[in-house]
Structure 1
Amino acid sequence: MSSSSSPKQLSWRAHYWQTIALSLPLVIGQLASIGIATADVIAMGQISSHDLASGSLAARFYQPFYFMGLGITLATGPIVAQGLGGNDPRLVRRAFRQGMVIAVMLALIAMPFVMVGDVVLVWLGQDPVISAHAKDFLFWSAIGLPFMFLFFVLRQFVSSHKKPMPQVIATIGGLLANILGNHICVHGYGPIPPMGLGGIALSTTIVYLLICIGLLIYIGMTEPYKSSKPFQRLWIMDWDITRRIFVIGIPIGCTIVAETGMFIAVVFIIGLYGPVPLAASAIANQIAAVAFMVPLAIGQASTIRVGHFAGANDRHNISRASWSAVWVGLGLTSLIMIYLFAQSEFLIDLFLADDDPMTAAVATFAIPMMIITALFQCGDGTQAITISALRGLNDTRVPAYIAIACFWFIGVGIGAVGAYAFDFDPVAIWGCLLIGLMVASVALTYRLYVATRRITRGGAILSQ
């Protein structure tokens, strides 16, 4: 029944507060999650700018595999939320079970490709010395992929119950453990030898293993999760749900890889200019990634809330859940933009060692890159939230086309043409990200507007 005549329709004020209430712990969890990666980047910079350039280049290489796995496993979230909204525990259990199987399978496929990344980087024209130095880092990063991908599914399952705190606490614990682990594995302690750059990846791998063990035990022993019998018949394949996860998840993965790939491609282009601008772009990229966790968490909240209302066939609350998240996100990303403008030099200094002879040169490139990073906050946040709300409706294919077109043909395309045909400097190439993100923001906002108007007027709720 349409919610226009239903007493269950929520006011705009209620939607704003419920979006904020669900987003807040998700923001903390996302910041803790990106904090693990940020601690890794800081640890690289504290070794040397050479290690920072090498480690960040290696991270850019394995991230397409990482984010494709993230995107496909994200499909478990809206399916679980729709099952919960429709009071269908069987769907909840099946989506979770198949999500875990798919996560491990994808990781096993990706591992050998990541392990040979040092060779591929040379083929891509990167500095052979910098690429060779990343070999151990890539090896241990590959070993950690199954635990990372499994964590994505566990996080989605817990958060889709609108109870995200367990995964938040687990991730915060992982962040603290990773900071300590980085120090031990990089410099050595007791029987552990100094491992340098490779030790950073080993520490992260161990941390994600421990997080997965903790969440699996928690889900199996705690309500409301254990009521759906999440591990029942774990070894049985459910091909219908597997197909559904891939149909929804592959476009999500392509969308995420398109956006992150835009950053990665731009970093690869900047890497052709040498280690100094490459290190600077690594700093700007990591700060942008940390800032992105706020709209990303709001987007996750919108996926969960929209998915619940979609499962309950609640039309008008779908629209309000979507747009309340967009407006909350715009407010918060505006504040982030102001902060990045005001504190850019302070943030850059966190990533650089005082006694490194390259520090001043790196900062010269990093400061204007940070200004551009501040400018694209609102656009980046809006596209992330609108596309997340559409995921709650299983609308992933067309948004993927929009994202690929905006990020690659516009963002990367202009950067590549500028670099090779017009001799753009590294800062101008970084600025091309702003153009791609703003165009994507406008296009995806319109897509969400069309979808919510259709649903409110009685059209189909789920796209697939």
Structure 2
Amino acid sequence: MTHELPYSAHIRAVLVMGLPLIGGHLAQLTIGLTDTVMMGRYGVPELAALSLSMTVFSVLFLFGSGFAFAVMPMVAQYAARGDEPNVRRATRMALWLSTGFFLLALPLFWFAKPLLLTLGQTDLVASNAQAYLRIAGVGLLPALGVMVFKSYLAALEHTRAVLWITVAAAVVNGLANYALIFGKWGAPELGITGAAIASLFAHGAAFVGVVLYARLRLPEHQIWFHFWRPDMEMLREVFHLGWPIGLTTLAEVGLFAATAVMVGWLGTVPLAAHGIAMQLSGAIFMVHLGLSNVATVRAGQAMGRSDLSYLTRGTMAAQVLSLGIVVITVILFLGIPETLIGLFLSPDDPDRAQILRVGTLLLAMAAVFQLVDSIQVIVLGVLRGMQDTKVPMLIAAVSYWLVGMPVAYVLGFPLGYGAGGVWMGLSLGLGLASALLYWRFWHRQVPHLSGLALARGADGD
């Protein structure tokens, strides 16, 4: 008979594992913010090219990270069973698949200019973006490697290491950016090329950090011993679990990118307000994402132990903590929207009043979708921990692109609600995804697992 932990114990466990992961996600967010701020002070054309380049890199990085995210539930489940050989096998093959994805993506970085020109970018922006991506794109390989090791370490509850390695990478990136963009401390002034070199250096340093930590603290797994040997059975398992995760992430990232494009059709003021609201919402989302990662690990552990109570109670603990963050967010977004938006604006900006007006409306919309977004990201994390990824991928594709996006367009343009209408469509897509994912977990997966548990009990009798 399985001993049921009280909810308070689950909440403590989620916080102990989750706070370092949340800190790591926020540190990762500061890397992009630092790049944007420094390049903004260097030059507007370079900033435009950097923003475009980071979008291209991020889309490919998040898509390719599906194999890394697959490591988290697999390693958690194997570790719960004491199956160390499979911990090693899954991590290795995720590194193999990540390397393969990098090789496929590399030509897109190298020949970025003609692709961007085809998409309507100016020659100057496309040239600068290609210069950045030819260097920073090489960093996709260590970046994906870091994601694999982060998932491996998180699944083994070494979350503090994930935090401090990410913080160190953010510091390295900031210092290298300052030196190479502006030509400080004896370094040459390289502008956007300097930013690319700094990015490559930061990803490389982070990769060295995670590899050394794993080698020193977890030598029993011997990740690199006979690394070159193929393991086709495990490679197929990681691939089948990972590619739907990558497409699910791509569907959500693509939704937010598409809404930015649509708001851009409305003019620079709505786009600026949209960007600020997204920055604020994105920072809060990192908290929910950290809790979702914990939910993935703990669901994987529950599956490894065949412990239904651990699964359901752990899910509720993560969801309650996530909803607590939602309450705080709603109070802030509705209570002091102008103060929050003002952090991103110069006091003498001629468009300040208009941006504040539009931004206040968008933060009110963000307060609404925080609720549904928190539900969907936690349940999605749990389903990944149960290695249920294909149906959630279909749910995401339908909710975001067949419902959310068309509604966002209709409300924003034919019906004339502007940026607020676009965000209503965004909220609807996220809401539908959260409802369907919630239904799949509580009304399909949990009853199914309960039936299996009862059947095993009857066999045992």
Mark yes or no: TM-score above 0.5. Answer: yes
Kept in 1: contact 2:97–2:239 (CA 8 A): no
Q: Which residue of 1 is the match for residue 7 of structure 2?
A: 12
> How many residues matched?
454
For 2:398, which of 385, 394, 405 is the aligned residue?
405
1:195 aligns with 2:178: no
* SS of equivalent to 2:65: helix
Q: Which residue of 2 is the match for residue 443 of structure 1?
A: 436
Q: Which residue of 1 is the match for residue 257 of structure 2?
A: 264
* SS of equivalent to 1:456: helix
1:142 aligns with 2:137: yes
How many angstroms does 1:428 deviate by? Answer: 3.0
* SS of equivalent to 2:326: helix
The verdict on how the C-alpha distance between 1:52 and 1:266 changes in structure 2, with shifts beyond 3 A counting, is farther
* SS of equivalent to 1:153: helix
| Mapping of residues 213-228 of structure 1, within 5 Å | 213-222=208-217, 225-228=218-221
Q: Which residue of 1 is the match for residue 367 of structure 2?
A: 374
How many angstroms does 1:343 deviate by? Answer: 4.6
Kept in 2: contact 1:125–1:272 (CA 8 A): no
1:177 aligns with 2:177: no
- Alpha-carbon distance in 1 for matches of 2:107, 2:366: 33
* SS of equivalent to 2:224: coil
The verdict on how the C-alpha distance between 1:194 and 1:430 changes in structure 2, with shifts beyond 3 A counting, is farther
* SS of equivalent to 2:223: coil
| Mapping of residues 67-82 of structure 1, within 5 Å | 67-82=62-77
1:110 aligns with 2:81: no
For 2:380, which of 379, 383, 387 is the aligned residue?
387
1:235 aligns with 2:232: no
Kept in 1: contact 2:404–2:426 (CA 8 A): yes
- Alpha-carbon distance in 2 for matches of 1:340, 1:424: 21
- Alpha-carbon distance in 1 for matches of 2:363, 2:189: 33
Structure 1 counterpart of 2:286, which letter?
M
For 2:78, which of 71, 83, 91 is the aligned residue?
83
Q: Which residue of 2 is the match for residue 333 of structure 1?
A: 326
CA offsets 1:271-326 (integer angstroms, 9 cap, x no match)? 34455544443333333222111111111101111101211222221222222211
The verdict on how the C-alpha distance between 1:112 and 1:422 changes in structure 2, with shifts beyond 3 A counting, is farther
How many angstroms does 1:421 deviate by? Answer: 4.0
Kept in 2: contact 1:58–1:131 (CA 8 A): no
- Alpha-carbon distance in 2 for matches of 1:309, 1:259: 27
* SS of equivalent to 1:265: helix
The verdict on how the C-alpha distance between 1:182 and 1:362 changes in structure 2, with shifts beyond 3 A counting, is farther
Kept in 2: contact 1:295–1:382 (CA 8 A): no
The verdict on how the C-alpha distance between 1:265 and 1:287 changes in structure 2, with shifts beyond 3 A counting, is same
The verdict on how the C-alpha distance between 1:115 and 1:416 changes in structure 2, with shifts beyond 3 A counting, is farther
Structure 2 counterpart of 1:434, which letter?
S
The verdict on how the C-alpha distance between 1:228 and 1:104 changes in structure 2, with shifts beyond 3 A counting, is same
- Alpha-carbon distance in 1 for matches of 2:416, 2:130: 31
The verdict on how the C-alpha distance between 1:131 and 1:343 changes in structure 2, with shifts beyond 3 A counting, is farther
- Alpha-carbon distance in 2 for matches of 1:460, 1:89: 29
Kept in 2: contact 1:39–1:179 (CA 8 A): yes
Kept in 2: contact 1:410–1:436 (CA 8 A): yes
* SS of equivalent to 1:376: helix
Give the TM-score, by structure 1 length. 0.89
How many angstroms does 1:399 deviate by? Answer: 0.7
How many angstroms does 1:60 deviate by? Answer: 2.6
The verdict on how the C-alpha distance between 1:307 and 1:404 changes in structure 2, with shifts beyond 3 A counting, is same
- Alpha-carbon distance in 2 for matches of 1:343, 1:40: 27
- Alpha-carbon distance in 2 for matches of 1:348, 1:45: 18
For 1:120, which of 104, 115, 127 is the aligned residue?
115
How many angstroms does 1:457 deviate by? Answer: 3.3
The verdict on how the C-alpha distance between 1:401 and 1:64 changes in structure 2, with shifts beyond 3 A counting, is same
- Alpha-carbon distance in 2 for matches of 1:144, 1:355: 39
Give the TM-score, by structure 2 length. 0.90
How many angstroms does 1:170 deviate by? Answer: 0.8
Mark the runs of 5 or more structure 2 residues left unpaired by the alignment.
Answer: 456-461
The verdict on how the C-alpha distance between 1:375 and 1:457 changes in structure 2, with shifts beyond 3 A counting, is same
| Mapping of residues 419-458 of structure 1, within 5 Å | 421-422=414-415, 425-450=418-443, 451-458=445-452
1:30 aligns with 2:25: yes
Structure 1 counterpart of 2:54, which letter?
A
**Identity of counterpart residues, as a percentage?**
28
How many angstroms does 1:129 deviate by? Answer: 5.5
- Alpha-carbon distance in 2 for matches of 1:36, 1:157: 22
Structure 2 counterpart of 1:288, which letter?
S
For 1:155, which of 135, 150, 154 is the aligned residue?
150
Kept in 1: contact 2:76–2:156 (CA 8 A): yes
Kept in 2: contact 1:280–1:362 (CA 8 A): yes
Kept in 2: contact 1:76–1:95 (CA 8 A): yes
Moved more, 28-37 or 340-349: 340-349
How many angstroms does 1:447 deviate by? Answer: 1.2
* SS of equivalent to 2:452: coil
- Alpha-carbon distance in 1 for matches of 2:53, 2:271: 12
Mark the runs of 5 or more structure 1 residues left unpaired by the alignment.
Answer: none
- Alpha-carbon distance in 2 for matches of 1:207, 1:330: 34
How many angstroms does 1:133 deviate by? Answer: 4.6
Q: Which residue of 2 is the match for residue 414 of structure 1?
A: 407
The verdict on how the C-alpha distance between 1:257 and 1:126 changes in structure 2, with shifts beyond 3 A counting, is same
Kept in 2: contact 1:114–1:139 (CA 8 A): yes
The verdict on how the C-alpha distance between 1:136 and 1:366 changes in structure 2, with shifts beyond 3 A counting, is farther
How many angstroms does 1:360 deviate by? Answer: 6.5
